[in-house]
Structure 1
Amino acid sequence: MGLQWTVILLLKMTLTGLSYGIVGGDSTSSKRHAVKSIQSDDGDIVDCIDIYKQPAFDHPALKNHIVQVCLLSMLLIQMSPSYDPTMDTTATRTKRSTDRKEDSSVTVTSQLWKRNGSCPRGTIPIRRIRKDLLKSKLSNSTENYGRKKPRLFHHIAQLNDNATSNLQQANHSLAILLTEGYSYSGGKGDIKVWNPFVETDDEYSTSQVALQNGPYYDYESVESGWAVNPRVYGDRKTRLFVYWTTDGSKTTGCFDLTCPGFVQTSHEIALGAAIYPISSSTGLPYQITIFIFKDPNTGNWWLQYGEKINIGYWPSDLFGTLKNNAETVQWGGEVYSSRVGKHPHTATAMGSGHFPDYISGNSGCVKRLRVRENSQELKFPEWVYAYSDEYDCYDVFYLGDYIEDPEFYFGGPGQSYKCP
């Protein structure tokens, strides 16, 4: 009986410790639990939170983690992948070395807040959310804060290629390169970093790598890249993001740590923090390297940033079909606006705001496109298809001929003489 009451007491203590509620609470909730707080030059406040008190474990599917705390006095967090994802075959390693010598872009791993401090090991950096964003009418409710609005289906003419017949959806405009036909356990790419114009506060523009599975109306997805998203972040800075959903964003999923789900393990990177520096048409090109891969032993989907930092993972318990594998890998851009496909069209830009430009490179771009299928080897996909919902607004260009390693260019200005 004594042990039973001890377990119950520990469970209550654990639930109290974990349920600090970044979403649904107030702007000071993370501050109360911070081991350390860092003021960023861009106005952000980053709180260093004990890794065992992060919001991920409030998710119903992860309550087993909390029970493990009580019984074992430790949290069952996978602190690192069970294998080194950078250790590929000799051919792949040689190819990667060649890529680095020929690539004129500079890989970015820095964030502005790190200029003023760092979080100690055993904590994770969490960007503090402003109270006014949680209560904004754009969020509808705190439960919906941080979640994409669903890609509601609208009738379109059947396209000749079945692979693209289910992609066009209302209020979202995609310009992507996709591959399917195999079981995928990883997707990777070097994404050029820009700061596109976003017209209104309820719109956003992202460039990302995404792995998806499941039925059309309720697809499951894990995504990461950069975003300009005023509704979530309160400004128009370019920020690193992660995203997940298990039902096409109707009721599940969110950006970053704004809801329980993603388990962060790194003390070096703050999700939702501003990326620095940013590419410009007259300056140096900068890129981020995103690698999403499934751990073959645990089934968790890991996120690696900048070739070396394992930020954390989406636990396999979150998913249904995606627990086993992904059916498609996608690279490219997405714009959300209620004026997508309408007149006047939104002026929210994708990529750099320029249409695909493989000559100067001053557009959205993804290089070193890689997938992982059944083996651990990273390789270029067997088959790819470039697709855009609105070619006159956001176009695509796949450069696959006369080049050693194919590249994908995408983007556009939105509203223009071509896209009235």
Structure 2
Amino acid sequence: MRLILIFVIMCGFYNETYGEVSLDIDKKLRTLNKPALETIKSEDGDVIDCIDIYKQHAFDHPALRNHKIQMKPSAEFDAKTTTIPNNGSSKPITSQIWSKSGNCPVGTIPVRRVRREDIMRASSPSHFGRKTHHRYSFLDNALQHKANFNLTAKRLREPRSNNRSVNPSVFGDSRTRLFAYWTKDAYTKTGCINLLCSGFVQTTTKFALGAAIEPVSRARGDQYYMAFSMYLDPNSGNWWLTCGNNVMGYWPGTLFSGLKHSATAVQWGGEVYSPNGIMKKPHTRTPMGSGNWASSLWSRACFHTNLRIKDFSLQVKYPQYLGEYVDEHNCYSTKLHRDTYKAEPRFYFGGPGQNPLCP
């Protein structure tokens, strides 16, 4: 009789708890998946909804309720011409997998549809799309910036990212995906990946944040890259994100308190997720970049090239003072390397994660 009573109590507790979580997931799905004017089914399994640009999730943010969309920046990052060195044998990527199956009409934005199972992989619906413990390798400088980002792929159990992301906990697979992240308090309470919370205002019809990217680089094979820039519009105070010649959208200046005139730092590099935090064992087995050490260099290690900043002189230039940083040298690495004395440096980064020197 006691066993039956305990079983009944446990079942009642489970059903009540599961019911509350299920309702929270339903609410989250309704918030994130806005009514679509058109739907595109991608060959990789993603569903892309074409959402009315004026009804996107960004405008659920209290600070953006009466926000007027800025359709394009009032000033371009490359307003003044610069000489961009050759990328070697790397090739640009100008589209995503879903665009093979269709395009969103003018007046809409493409948004990857969130599935119930996506949210169920998070610790809770409220933490879906939020960052936790990460390990970093990066190059540091200041103000507005741009660079070409090498794209690699490797099957993973845990997330990694740097403007393109592999994140099974959010997307449920190991595909390389386009991503953006924002926070105003160092990931404490604000911000999220892509459009999984209100904030980023998307304006492009050509790219969907969170959608998969192909082709990707292979070790000793063809190298592919995407060119990103992020810069402040001095007239509106909005921070714009571009991919190649495509203006992706912006983070409204009203979201932030300390970025009205410039950024205080710019970082290029990579990061991986670790459930154990930094300097704790066992170390995550998640590789960074291609999984090869930065010293492997071209066609083996992941890299950034064509690094540029715009400082208070308003000149687009290669940054003069750069500092390399790795929070765990036996697990990941960085290398700022010149092929020749006159060549512009490429920034290589990455590593295998857990290994004999990084238990």
Instruction: Give the alignment's TM-score, normalised by structure 2.
Output: 0.88
Structure 1: 4+ residue segments shifted above 6 A: none
**Cα distance in 1 for residues equivalent to 2:174 and 2:27:** 23
Deviations 1:247-289 (A, max 9, x none): 1111100011111000000111101000111000143100111
CA contact (8 A) 2:240 2:250 kept: yes
- SS of the residue corresponding to residue 126 of structure 2 reads coil
The equivalences for 1:270-349 within 5 A come to: 270-306=208-244, 308-339=245-276, 340-349=278-287
The equivalences for 1:211-226 within 5 A come to: 225-226=163-164
Equivalent residue for 1:145? Answer: 128
The offset of 1:142, in angstroms, is: 2.0
- What is the letter of the counterpart of residue 352 of structure 2? P
- What is the letter of the counterpart of residue 193 of structure 1? L
Change in CA separation of 1:40 and 1:301 when aligned onto 2, cut-off 3 Å:
same
Equivalent residue for 2:63? Answer: 61
The answer to whether the aligner puts 1:115 opposite 2:115 as a matched pair is no
CA contact (8 A) 2:49 2:112 kept: yes
Equivalent residue for 1:85? Answer: 77
- SS of the residue corresponding to residue 249 of structure 2 reads strand
Aligned-residue CA RMSD in angstroms?
2.0
Match of 2:51 among 38, 49, 52: 49
The offset of 1:147, in angstroms, is: 1.1
**Cα distance in 1 for residues equivalent to 2:29 and 2:242:** 30
**Cα distance in 2 for residues equivalent to 1:249 and 1:109:** 30
CA contact (8 A) 2:230 2:240 kept: yes
CA contact (8 A) 2:221 2:299 kept: no
CA contact (8 A) 2:201 2:252 kept: yes
The offset of 1:197, in angstroms, is: 3.8
Equivalent residue for 1:252? Answer: 190
**Cα distance in 2 for residues equivalent to 1:321 and 1:195:** 35
**Cα distance in 1 for residues equivalent to 2:299 and 2:222:** 11
Equivalent residue for 1:261? Answer: 199
Deviations 1:365-407 (A, max 9, x none): 0001111111332111120011101111001111157242111
- What is the letter of the counterpart of residue 51 of structure 1? I
The answer to whether the aligner puts 1:371 opposite 2:309 as a matched pair is yes
Equivalent residue for 1:163? Answer: none
Q: Percent identity?
A: 44
- SS of the residue corresponding to residue 64 of structure 1 reads coil
When structure 1 is superposed on structure 2, of 53-62 and 395-404 the one drifting more is: 395-404
Aligned length: 334
**Cα distance in 2 for residues equivalent to 1:321 and 1:22:** 34
**Cα distance in 2 for residues equivalent to 1:23 and 1:370:** 43
**Cα distance in 2 for residues equivalent to 1:345 and 1:328:** 28
**Cα distance in 2 for residues equivalent to 1:38 and 1:375:** 45
The offset of 1:177, in angstroms, is: 0.6
**Cα distance in 2 for residues equivalent to 1:383 and 1:86:** 21
- SS of the residue corresponding to residue 174 of structure 1 reads strand
Any unmatched runs of 5+ in structure 1? 1-20, 66-75, 150-170, 208-224
CA contact (8 A) 2:25 2:119 kept: no
- What is the letter of the counterpart of residue 124 of structure 1? I
The offset of 1:336, in angstroms, is: 1.3
**Cα distance in 1 for residues equivalent to 2:130 and 2:337:** 33
Equivalent residue for 1:177? Answer: 139
**Cα distance in 2 for residues equivalent to 1:23 and 1:330:** 37
CA contact (8 A) 2:78 2:316 kept: no
- SS of the residue corresponding to residue 143 of structure 1 reads helix
Equivalent residue for 2:148? Answer: 190
Equivalent residue for 1:11? Answer: none
The offset of 1:28, in angstroms, is: 10
CA contact (8 A) 2:231 2:239 kept: yes
**Cα distance in 1 for residues equivalent to 2:224 and 2:329:** 26
Change in CA separation of 1:280 and 1:82 when aligned onto 2, cut-off 3 Å:
same
CA contact (8 A) 1:22 1:55 kept: no
The answer to whether the aligner puts 1:130 opposite 2:115 as a matched pair is yes
The answer to whether the aligner puts 1:37 opposite 2:39 as a matched pair is yes
The offset of 1:189, in angstroms, is: 0.8
CA contact (8 A) 1:23 1:143 kept: no
Deviations 1:65-84 (A, max 9, x none): 2xxxxxxxxxx100001023
- SS of the residue corresponding to residue 269 of structure 1 reads coil
**Cα distance in 1 for residues equivalent to 2:25 and 2:230:** 25
The offset of 1:27, in angstroms, is: 7.2
Equivalent residue for 1:407? Answer: 346
The offset of 1:145, in angstroms, is: 1.1
Match of 1:385 among 298, 318, 323: 323
